[in-house]
Structure 1
Amino acid sequence: MEIKKNETQLVCIAKFIAKDGEVEQLIENLHALIPYTLQEGGCIRYELNQCIENPNRITFIEKWYNKETFDAHNGSSYIQEFFNEGNPYHVKEFEVSLHKELLA
């Protein structure tokens, strides 16, 4: 997909807080999502970050061409597997928020 000048994309901020003693496993599980996601046609950015003040807080910063490509990503088997099988064991809480990029 080609980005057109002055075209806004969908930005997702996905924040996870690991259960005590589970941060390394959570990071490993989240890292495993990256290669699959970067192969998706609608993915522009998929960046994993760890909070300096609270290392149990892990955040994905994502950018997608549009809501449709983001929704397709969320419906993928590997994302569903993470949230249904990996998430409950390692994640204390999580929050996903969607944003629109503001262009000048």
Structure 2
Amino acid sequence: MSEVVVIATFLTHPGQEDAAARFLDELLAPSHADPGCLLYAVHRGLDDPRKMVFVERWASRELLEEHIATDHIQDALKAVGDYFAAGPEIVLYEALPGGEADKGSIAGHATGTGAPAAG
């Protein structure tokens, strides 16, 4: 099993930026408790606050799939249209670290070693 990085992007309905941020914030605690969650962080666009993104790290694709199957994520996916005009666009990545160990990958930055965290 190898670590998976997920980038999930969303575009809010006009005027729904704050409500959408609260909606996504409610997913943090239960997702952080899911097995295999190494990082689950929401971000808002600086130049366009309607753009929101989750940056995630999961210990394995299997554990990510378990997370997606949880009630809190399935319920959220059903409500996405209430807050977002587009998304989620979800793309899975594998790390291709390079350069300085603690700057060449998200995992390396998190652990300060350039290697995925033990899980």
- TM-score normalized with structure 1 length: 0.88
Q: Does 1:25 align with 2:19?
A: yes
Partner of 1:87: 80
Which SS does the other structure have where 1:54 is aligned? coil
Which SS does the other structure have where 2:11 is aligned? strand
Which SS does the other structure have where 2:34 is aligned? coil
* Greater share of residues in strand: 1
Q: Does 1:12 align with 2:6?
A: yes
Partner of 2:116: none
Query: Shift in Å at residue 30 of structure 1?
Result: 0.4
Larger radius of gyration: 2
- After superposition, the CA RMSD in angstroms is 1.3
Indicate which of 29, 40, 47 corresponds to 1:46: 40
Which SS does the other structure have where 1:17 is aligned? strand
- TM-score normalized with structure 2 length: 0.78
Percent pairwise identity: 22
The higher-RCO structure (CA 8 Å, 6+ apart) is: 1
Between Structure 1 and Structure 2, how many residues are aligned?
Answer: 97
Mapped partners of 1:15, 1:81: distance in 2: 18
Q: Is the 8 A contact 2:2 2:61 kept in 1?
A: no
Unaligned 5+ segments in structure 2 are 99-119
* Deviating 4+ runs (over 3 angstroms): none
